[in-house]
Structure 1
């Protein structure tokens, strides 16, 4: 059926196709069922000849597997399809062609078995990377009463399999089962298993494909209608083809004003998106569908992409030309996928985190150098058992196989590469935090590769992309803003080049039509030696970006110090904290800026005000590079350039080398010309009025969509909620129309009818933007004056004071009268002499008959107004075309200045961080640290940056402590003892965090700080079981300790808390001392070592390692040689400090967080137990047991001569 007044769009016609055709012949149904059942029987008979594999009890057929028993029903298209017809061609983009719609892509998973599925999948496999999910078991579709089918492959024809190709192909792709996908979405541990999930062998895969292809060919004949059987409607078939082509994506199909999901996608994702799943009645059977209005696209994309980690393919509507219409049987539109959105390839979606980069990383593993081969006695690998590779496998190899990394942020164009090893990969992943990891699909068959264990630890989303041959760096230029210099290109290793080639090809495939305009920044090689390495365990233990307990931003170091006012500055701060610098020159330059802004508070405030006026120009210019962006983005870019100019003027007025160095990097000549062109072209007032109109239209459409869904069911219900006048459909086609509440100062219209009845139009380009636009506006002004004159003359001749000249979607150009005028005859009497023709006729009179009327209004057709109105509309259209051309020129100017704009944006980000560091220093009394190339770590009055803030909120003060580790005479390693809850762990963390802040260029929370540059921070603080990988607390602890002992250098800082606590006291003491001894004698690094094993102090003294040891006598040397083989380097390298508890006479106590020299043998665990609410009877028993064994230990410990907490102070 056709909806009256909807407009000339094909959606209504296509919606008609969805109406289920009437089938009055029951015999046809029975015959069709018999054919299907006969086919099923034949398939089962054939299956008896194929051995080895048996499929049993598959799930019920998918929604598209129709049951012939389902009764046929007459009925119209479903409500969503009807509404789609009503809102056909509603792009709701910005006025004119200034803003291209933000078409986003969709995430995909496998559809149910459909006709041509296998064939199309094979054709598209090289374009469609597979997500990392375990395989699903497909089943043959059945109809009628059969709900369960068992297919035995032994029944299929036997014979040799075709030879396999020499190279691996995507034929080994895994398919995702719905249950596994749900587990992965829920954050379950199956994610790790999905990375290394089982893959069907080539033989089994080939057999399965042969069986399924035979069944699908029969289904294809049915759907093609070759035997006269019914087909799905065209819209559904278009969606079906796209589902097969992008089988790993969730498909969102644009139908008029809605995006719709069909078949299994609707069943699976509709409930997850809180959408109602309806059954679309078609002649081929019911089809599951769900949908939402187009303006809610980003809302649902956020859920699919960020929350469910899906890939989304978006099929938009594209008008067919005359030839395509003939080929497609008269279809006005083709629906094809124009972008695939994955978590790592977001461009400008509003749901992106503005304060963090959105990286996609490609990892290249040298195929010639795999994992170390397992021994003959060990046939199971770590990947298979869920265990990570052992330290020996990673580190014992003399030359670890290289791994190439490349990562980029599509939204900013930042592009990096790095050469690394498997052992360092987890540290880099923790620092970069990619949203998506891409690996070569050749690795998919090597499910036991250790790289999958590393990726599974943090449940990274893995995409297997088609193998890409290595492309030289010099050939990356088409996707870069500038060419990579030849000398720079030679520095890239083969692994980096392979990873970069894989990544660029993957991004190109995901962006489809946008790939031709991708402009990335030239790749920067990341050198490990240039940054302070913070491994994964340290990043987590120090809570640099998120807390351990809640995995939340609040409470982290980043939250405690962030005072930035721009989004780009916040992203750069995140990078600086994740990878602080090791360059003294770079750190000193950052500190100079901070110090100047501390001294000049007025200057800092002015710069901050100007920074607030700027916008996220890194992402703005990237949008324009992609051919996206609208007039609002252009205005934001103009304001940013103006703010940059004013900041430069302020800084140049200051006599400071640090400011001069900064401003010299800013290029303003061409960007200022661009800003002036934008200012003189775009009308900001028009933009504001346009947004008000768009908001009003969106609310009306949202209300309509709600009514449509509510009324879903019958034709009458749907028709009742659609505007009888067809205004909504016309609103879609006439997107440049605006309200009358604009420049004319008329009252705001209250309905869509009033909205489109007025002739005033809002333009977003100023008339003087171009000579052509000026002429068109002059012409339009003349035509509008003609309209005013015509209206005045007609009102006078008709005697109808209420007459207005209007345009409506249904009636076109009309004269509208109301009140008393609506009841009189509208007659125009021409006076003699008005024209030669009329003069000869002696005058003329004309009556205008009504074309529409109501009780109080009447509309009449006036030929003079129709002719004039058409000229007005034509002029308005020409203005829109000219505005689009001007905006395209502006976008081209932005692309030409891309390099300069990005460079200027980077400088603004650095300024933002410098002013925020200065503000933080003033607020919290931070001091400038002194950094050098020495090995001392001298911190006086240090404070924990986050704990201090929490205590301040509670009105409590933080206890300051010194750290002199590495200082001459103070030892390279401090052994720290003390009671539980007395602040040992806080002390360890605070010194590591002070180091991070200092090398990031920030001032630090201390009275004085001087330290040598640290190349890496390692921590073993806290531990937990990893039951999934069958690792106990002690095993996790030992793996972390082993990693530290193998990796730390003389320039590293190590913090270790309670090593050995996961086993018996004897074993724990032995392991803890071995780790301590190794740090002192082998690593020779700065270390803070907290423990409750008080026997360590005795061992330290016995081996002559204590700073206060008697000397280098024969006994001490012999003692040391018994452990290290005549290695006496650890003598005098350990100092001992402790915290304490102060008790009063009434039994009360208070923790003393201030460190002092000595050893505290009292852990005061019973006090903590009593505070925690342990029953008093249990505490009494514990006290008795403790007292029995304590005296002997105290007496033995006193022989060492080290002061304890029980000794009286002198």
Structure 2
């Protein structure tokens, strides 16, 4: 007979189920139904895991691995289960909670057990499993003909969104939507399991828990009915959806999935927001990461991101909304102006700002409390938290009512406050099986039961006095023993006065013991009072919670008002703290910033140390609109601040279109539809992509997708290949952006040859450098013109390159510069299309005759960043340089 064995980390299945013990037969039957979940199997005071689950969980959570009848096993105490469940959810695991639901009876060898709850990363409801300032999105994506639907929902807040795109845009749009919604869990149909585009995007988002389901789950007809049933509608026209809309399939399956896992219809989810890209500033996932909006590039944490800089909200609701504003900047100037007005109200009234922010610090997460109430998961302390938060909000409403904030009625809030105040104890129990929830005077029956439990001796004394008066037996006593319970004891001398309703219990030497029907009733009530109190308190609490549940839509609306006010006050606080100004945002193509600063860099430097810079989309820095210049070519050495200057202008545009004030002394921002940021790149060897391939892929996306209203930030394009190829590519890209796209572009480069371009929309900028007696100082100031030197040798000396190497490099540079001075001057102008002449470019001339091998190699040496080159790449570079200079 074979037995289960652990071989190479896996459990060999028994050949015959009859070899399993009854308990393991029960376990295996349940596990077969929940193959994709970690099964928490309740045994006594522990949740146990067996076989593959035990092997995996013991490794993930560093638990001791034991065995039961040769089955691998590990366990956790049930009272500490939430801690371990939270850790597993963060690792993307799903958990099925299996509890004992029956007792061992006649003919039974084990108690009945069943799964009572499934917890997944995207459907978790308990506060212990959630991050207060982050939405917990469950997302779904499916393909319908040539369109892709994408939907995501946070069941804890009832936020429900959907969008769609053409199948041909799958790579960009899928990555973009995952990047800004950041779902914890993603549901996909089986027909996308082997889709290379989808797999490539998922590789870039390893933290998302992904599950695949049969295609019929995403059927549009079934989903259409499911959505109508959820929203109580006959059709979905009010949500801009039809049965054929690509969004319907994934949105409907999300609701089905929630029902399966939470065993609730999520009644608070009463609508869906369908959005299009034109409503918000579009940013591909690469640009979002490069700008470090919500997390930094170094370790993906919150520190040194734009979010950290403006994260001054006081409530969890506000923090979530702030993240949403940063991920979805607006393109509607009227909506932007409305947000600015509310932020300005706080900026102009510091006393109001301080009062509101101080009050908000005591407001808890009403949005998630409302979700828990709707799904019947809220406990008594949740209701007390709701009451205190609503009381604070009513005080805040009085403060802001004259400043144009949209606020709902106060009647419902007062109704909820009064209901909780009258019914729920100030410090109630969180469990519904303990009692200690309902206040006195809320229920006459509950008060009577509590009186029996707490004052039973007084009740007995009253009854004893009643019997004394009726029988005339003055020494009648009611006593209690563990064996006999409660009884009436009467001495022998009074036996002739015993009434008929006394029931003989026991005769003693000097006395006799009796009982009565009334005494038996009182004793029974006492024995039953404890359990009746617990049950009645539970029923009364559920009744109170249900009454509040009818007002959940009001609570959700109130939470949105609180979040909006909180974000407005937080951005006002940022504006005051960092000395930001209100920008003028309109539908023009102007981009003029005076004394602009990088918000994150400035926040982490000592006060006054950051050097501000102007930037204008005009042909000069005087804010004139007479000669618009869409393309700014920026040259200058490394460490002089080019990348900071590029990023700060992109972040200023983003902040302006969220409605925020911006880090400048004045600013006028024309609405941009997309922001592209191509700065830096790294190898992705696992996908067979080199640094240069990543760079070119991102560049190709920009050239294909940018429009005349876009803002493009590009830094050192073409650096990942040879000097000739890189220069040629950078020049051609510049031509394309100048002549075809015509969008606002900031283009930083080390290829000084690009400054020879001539175009009416081109402006040359460079980073100012001061030289004095051989000493070089980077002023971090932008100025008109082209840089005369890359100062690569200076940077190399600062980096600690051996002095002998620096000296030799200076000798080589002098020789190359002399040789270059004897070469014919390059003249390659780019004419505008209106000139009537055929455009000329660098590529219309013969490159080999223009640049010597030595000049090309030197330029590449000076533009190489040693800290970004691996040892193998360095050897390859040296070998190529040697081959080029030797002529072989």
Which residues in structure 2 correspond to 1:1071-1090 (within 5 Å)? Answer: 1071-1090=729-748
Structure number with higher relative contact order (C-alpha < 8 Å, ≥ 6 residues apart): 1
Residue 498 of structure 1 is matched in structure 2 by 249
Task: Give the TM-score normalised by structure 2.
Answer: 0.83
Q: Does 1:958 align with 2:736?
A: no
- Unaligned stretches of 5+ residues in structure 1: 1-32, 37-59, 66-109, 115-140, 142-215, 224-230, 369-400, 695-733, 737-761, 793-803, 816-826, 849-862, 1106-1131, 1203-1210
What residue number does 2:880 align with? Answer: none
Q: Is the 8 A contact 1:935 1:1012 kept in 2?
A: yes
How far apart are 1:929 and its partner, in Å?
0.5
Spell out, residue by residue over 1:533-571, the C-alpha distance to the aligned partner (whole angstroms, 9 max, x if none).
Answer: 121111111110111112111110000111000001000
Secondary structure, aligned partner of 1:515: coil
Counterpart-to-counterpart distance in 2, 1:996 and 1:585: 16
Residue pairs, 1:266-305, within 5 angstroms: 266-280=54-68, 285-305=69-89
Distance in 1 between the 2:348 and 2:544 partners? 41
* Alignment partner, residue 136 of structure 1: none
Indicate the SS of the match to 2:42: strand
- Distance 1:1053-1:846 versus aligned 2 partners, 3 A rule: farther
Contact 2:292 2:305 (C-alpha < 8 Å) held by counterparts: yes
Contact 2:446 2:533 in 1 (8 A): yes
Cα deviation code 1:385-443 (max 9, x no counterpart) = xxxxxxxxxxxxxxxx3211111112212111101131322111111111122111233
Structure 2 counterpart of 1:487: 237
Whether contact under 8 Å (2:40, 2:98) holds in the other structure is: yes
In structure 2, C-alpha distance between the alignment counterparts of 1:764 and 1:426, rounded to whole Å: 48
Whether the 8 Å contact between 1:625 and 1:895 is mirrored in structure 2 is yes
Change (3 A) 1:598 1:869: farther
Partner of 1:623: 372
Task: Say if 1:277 and 1:829 are closer, same or farther in 2 by CA, change over 3 A.
Answer: farther
C-alpha distance 305-1201 of structure 1, shift in aligned 2 (>3 A): closer
Query: Following the alignment from structure 1 to structure 2, what is the Cα–Cα distance between the partners of residues 1197 and 1057?
Result: 29
Of 1052, 1056, 1065, the residue aligned with 2:710 is: 1052
Tell me how far 1:593 sits from its aligned partner: 0.6
Q: Distance in 1 between matches of 2:132 and 2:480?
A: 46
Partner residue of 2:861? none
Structure 1 residues 946, 535: CA separation in 2 closer, same or farther (over 3 Å shift)?
same
1:185-223: per-residue Cα shift (whole Å, max 9, x none)? xxxxxxxxxxxxxxxxxxxxxxxxxxxxxxx5xx13x34
Note if contact 1:257-1:293 (Cα within 8 Å) is conserved in structure 2.
yes
Which residue number in structure 1 is paired with residue 852 of structure 2? Answer: none
Match of 2:798 in 1: 1171
SS of match in other structure, 2:220: coil
SS of residue paired to 1:1082:
helix
Q: Give a deviation string over 1:253-293, Cα, whole Å, max 9, x none.
A: 1223221112232233224322222222xxxx433322111
For residue 719 of structure 2, the aligned residue among 1046, 1061, 1069 is: 1061
- In 2, are the aligned partners of 1:667 and 1:904 still within 8 Å (CA)? no
Secondary structure at the residue paired with 2:398? helix
Structure-1 residue corresponding to 2:39: 251
Change (3 A) 1:735 1:501: closer
The alignment status of 1:1023 with 2:768, answered yes or no, reads no
Structure-to-structure mapping, 1:625-1024, within 5 angstroms: 625-652=374-401, 654=402, 656=403, 658-659=404-405, 662-663=406-407, 666-685=408-427, 687=428, 690=429, 736=434, 763-780=436-453, 783-786=456-459, 830=491, 832-833=493-494, 836-837=497-498, 870-952=524-606, 957-966=609-618, 967-969=625-627, 971-1024=629-682
CA distance in structure 1 between the aligned counterparts of 2:828 and 2:26, rounded to whole angstroms: 86
Residue 313 in structure 1 maps to residue 64 in structure 2: no
CA contact (8 A) 2:492 2:510 kept: no
Report the CA distance between 1:878 and its aligned residue: 2.5
Does the CA contact (< 8 Å) of 1:829 and 1:846 recur in 2?
Answer: no
| Aligned CA distance change for structure 1 residues 1139 and 489 (closer, same or farther; 3 Å) | closer
1:1136 and 2:794 are equivalent in the alignment: no
Is the Cα contact below 8 Å between 2:578 and 2:603 reproduced in 1?
no
Distance across 1 between alignment mates of 2:54 and 2:154: 31
SS at 2:610 equivalent: coil
The superposition leaves residues 978-1015 of structure 1 with CA deviations (integer Å, 9 ceiling, x where unpaired) of 11100000000000001111111111110001010011
Contact 1:773 1:883 in 2 (8 A): yes
Q: Distance in 2 between matches of 1:545 and 1:520?
A: 27
8 A contact 1:480–1:519 mirrored in 2: no
**Paired residue for 1:1118?**
none
Q: Please name the residue that 1:746 is paired with.
A: none
Please point out which of 356, 360, 369 is paired with 1:611. 360
Q: 1:828 to 1:507 in 2, by over 3 A?
A: closer
Does 1:466 find its partner at 2:466?
no
Structure 2's unaligned 5+ residue stretches are 466-477, 512-516, 619-624, 830-888
Asked if structure 2 preserves the Cα contact closer than 8 Å seen for 1:580 and 1:996, the reply is yes
> CA contact under 8 A between 1:263 and 1:288: conserved in structure 2?
yes
2:157 aligned partner: 412
Over 3 Å counting, the alpha-carbon distance change for 1:64 and 1:1076 in structure 2 is closer
**Matched-pair contact (CA < 8 Å) for 2:684–2:691:** yes
Q: After superposition, where does 1:63-142 map in structure 2 within 5 Å? A: 63=6, 112=11, 114=13
The 2-side partners of 1:735 and 1:621 are apart by 22
User: 1:627-647 CA distances to partner (integer Å, 9 max, x unpaired)?
Assistant: 211001111112222223222
Which of the numbers 238, 241, 255 marks the counterpart of 2:29? 241
Query: How much has 1:1197 moved relative to structure 2?
Result: 9.6
Q: Is the 8 A contact 1:481 1:899 kept in 2?
A: no
The separation in 2 between residues aligned to 1:1149 and 1:575, in whole angstroms, is 44
Quick one: structure 1 residues 641 and 349, their matched pair in 2 at CA, closer, same or farther if it must change by over 3 Å?
Answer: closer
The answer as to whether partners of 1:482 and 1:522 remain within 8 angstroms in 2 is: no
Task: Please provide the CA RMSD for this pair.
Answer: 3.5
SS class of match (1:471): helix
| SS of equivalent residue, structure 1 residue 1067 | helix
CA distance in 2, matches of 1:264, 1:831: 75
Q: CA deviation at 1:448?
A: 4.3
Distance across 2 between alignment mates of 1:1137 and 1:788: 98
Q: CA deviation at 1:1173?
A: 1.3
Q: Is the contact made by 1:474 and 1:483 (CA closer than 8 Å) also made in structure 2?
A: no
Residue 100 of structure 1: aligned partner: none
| TM-score after normalising by structure 1 | 0.62
Give the Å deviation of 1:588: 0.7
**Cα separation, 2, equivalents of 1:1039 and 1:486:** 39
2:184 and 2:64 map into 1 onto residues whose CA distance is 30
Aligned to 2:783: 1156
Match of 1:431 among 180, 201, 206: 180
Give the secondary-structure state (helix, strand or coil) at the position aligned to 2:249.
helix
Deviation readout 1:295-350 (Å, 9 max, x if unpaired): 2111111221212x222211122236xxx956xx3367421122322222222241
| Distance verdict in 2 for CA 1:1166–1:403, change over 3 Å | same
* Aligned partner (choices 186, 189, 193) of residue 440 of structure 1: 189
CA deviation vs aligned residue, 1:371-396 (integer Å, no higher than 9, x gap): xxxxxxxxxxxxxxxxxxxxxxxxxx
**Structure 2: distance between partners of 1:805 and 1:1018:** 87
The reply to whether residue 452 of structure 1 matches residue 199 of structure 2 is yes
Give the match's secondary structure for 1:240: helix
Equivalents in 2 of 1:923, 1:625: separation in Å? 39
| Aligned counterparts of 1:919 and 1:485: Cα–Cα separation in 2 | 44
Shift of 1:479: 6.6
**Could you give the per-residue CA deviations for residues 130-184 of structure 1, whole angstroms, max 9, x where no partner exists?**
xxxxxxxxxxx5xxxxxxxxxxxxxxxxxxxxxxxxxxxxxxxxxxxxxxxxxxx
